[in-house]
Copies of this chain bind each other. A is one copy, B any other.
Amino acid sequence: MQFSSQRKLEHRLKPVFELLRRQDLVQQLVDRSEESSDIATDLVHRRHHQELSAALARLHPADIAHLVEMLPPEDRNSVWKCMPDSTGGNVLVEVSDSVAERLIEDTSADRLLTMGGYLSAEDLGIIEDLLPEDIRERLVAGLKEGDRSWLETTVTYPEDTVGHLMTRDVLVIDSGARIKDVLRYFRRLQDFPDHTDKIFVVDGRHRLEGILPLKALFLNPTELPVTEVMVTDIIAFMPDVDADDAGLAFERYDLVSAPVIDSRDRLLGRLTVDVVMDFLREQAEEDAFLREGLKGDEDLFGPVVESARNRWLWLFLNLLTALVASRVIGIFEGSIEKLVALATLMPIVASIGGNTGNQTVALVVRGLALGQIHRSNVRYLAFKELGVALLNGLIWGSVMGFVVFLLYGNQNLGLVMAGATVLNLLVAAATGIAVPLAMERIGRDPALGSSVMLTFVTDSMGFLIFLGMATLFLLP
């Protein structure tokens, strides 16, 4: 008997870490000793390769995927070289796209074909867009007819839809059957598809009539017809439904699996909770990254040059916006020369605007993701955030104004500080609501670069308001 818990993942991965560390040491020794013969080195490496392969063979593909994600490039390559071909494909399915892409680049066509040959049509569907064209075609050609047509159907659905995520491993029973027919049908099966908590009752044209929870088979007399115990109030999805929306439904109604049907109620496949969970996790991560202008699945341990390049677009945008904000200051260089305290104080106004605005952005992005924001309440939301900004601007603007008065002994400078803070907080709240809503309206992810956009507005407007008010009211 063997218990394993999450705690022990590190424990399970330990042998691999030790082998990798030992490899480093051996390599260092080999590098240092001048007399090392090639044969001895080769022997050491081969021995090592075998040990690492054996250690990997003892791990679950999901654990290996986790390991691969957390290794620096060199160690990642060592592990990948020792990966048994039979699990390599599953590891590619489990790791993030950016890591899978790099591994596929570093793998020979022959090895990819062997690894891919071990994959089911559904797993192949997950990585097929990452594979080189010719390998993809040869692997698809190698599938059975039914598998091939299934794969070709699901990949036509956009990536974030139910159709792309559904599985066709479905247990189906004819609506004319009795419970004992179901039990007889089950006994002929070798195994059940994963996450089978219910089976689907269909009519002669494969139209869904109801669902039969497994428990109904235990709790009812075997003579009953399935139509009498089946549930007909069903949560079903069309294949073009957003996976996001399906995810919310899984959370809300605690689903384990749900049928996917076409517009004529015909059963196409099934969506299961494990796929939904993975999807939701990836979405949540992606949102956090998109807000900062990172690639959705940026590889934490990827090579420097590629990581640097991934960030160029946003760095460039950020520089451009910072430059524009700086030109706003440029307009007021005359004022700053007359009263240098303005230069010292202007970043405070900009910074507090950025902070407040990003809070509003975070709230609105979540509200949109959860479907809580709606025509009927967006006005209330805007008034509320503006109200919060006004209230906090009055309170904290006064505090700052007083501090400025104490520092510089200039009463009017304090008043300008307070006024500019209030105004910039209002700008921040309005922008914090408008930017994600506008992104959503034009069909983009509301999180995408919203932080960069917002900071641009709060910086430029902060400088403009503060320096403009100072020029109007303080300078002769």
A278 to B7, alpha carbons, bound, how many Å?
21
Interface residue total, chain A, C-beta cutoff 8 A: 146
A301/B232 in contact, CB under 8 A: no
Q: Could you say which residues of chain B place their CB within 8 Å of the CB of A303?
A: 384
CB proximity of A32 to chain B, nearest CB, Å: 21
Counted per complex, copies of this chain come to 2
A381/B301 in contact, CB under 8 A: yes
Which of B288, B307, B325 is within 8 Å of A388, CB to CB? Answer: B307
A311/B277 in contact, CB under 8 A: no
Q: Could you say which residues of chain B place their CB within 8 Å of the CB of A3?
A: 234-236, 261, 265
A374 to B274, alpha carbons, bound, how many Å?
26
B183/A218 in contact, CB under 8 A: yes
A285/B245 in contact, CB under 8 A: no
- Among residues 180 to 200 in chain A, which have CB atoms less than 8 Å away from a CB atom of chain B? 183, 186-187, 189-192, 194-197
Residue of B nearest to A342 (CB): B343
| Given A2-B232, A5-B236, 12 further pairs, Cβ under 8 A | A2-B234, A4-B235, A5-B241, A5-B249, A70-B367, A183-B218, A288-B288, A300-B372, A311-B356, A319-B399, A326-B347, A347-B347
Q: Could you say which residues of chain B place their CB within 8 Å of the CB of A475?
A: none
CB proximity of A69 to chain B, nearest CB, Å: 6
Binary contact track A1-38/B, C-beta < 8 Å → 1, others 0: 11111110110000001000100000000000000000
B340/A325 in contact, CB under 8 A: no
Q: Which of A190, A251, A314 has the most CB of B within 10 A?
A: A251
- Among residues 257 to 310 in chain A, which have CB atoms less than 8 Å away from a CB atom of chain B? 261, 265, 273-274, 277-278, 280-281, 284-285, 287-289, 291-294, 298, 300-305, 307-308
A58 at interface, CB cutoff 8 A? no
A348/B326 in contact, CB under 8 A: yes
A371 at interface, CB cutoff 8 A? yes
B5/A238 in contact, CB under 8 A: yes
Binary contact track A126-165/B, C-beta < 8 Å → 1, others 0: 0000000000000000000000000000000000000000
Q: Could you say which residues of chain B place their CB within 8 Å of the CB of A2?
A: 232-234
CB proximity of A90 to chain B, nearest CB, Å: 12
Q: Could you say which residues of chain B place their CB within 8 Å of the CB of A177?
A: none
Among listed A45-53, A115-123, A451-459, interface-contacting one: A451-459
Among listed A80-88, A105-113, A207-215, A437-445, interface-contacting one: A207-215
B329/A252 in contact, CB under 8 A: no
B322/A347 in contact, CB under 8 A: yes
- Among residues 237 to 256 in chain A, which have CB atoms less than 8 Å away from a CB atom of chain B? 237-238, 241, 245-246, 248-254, 256
- Among residues 393 to 411 in chain A, which have CB atoms less than 8 Å away from a CB atom of chain B? 395-396, 399-400, 403
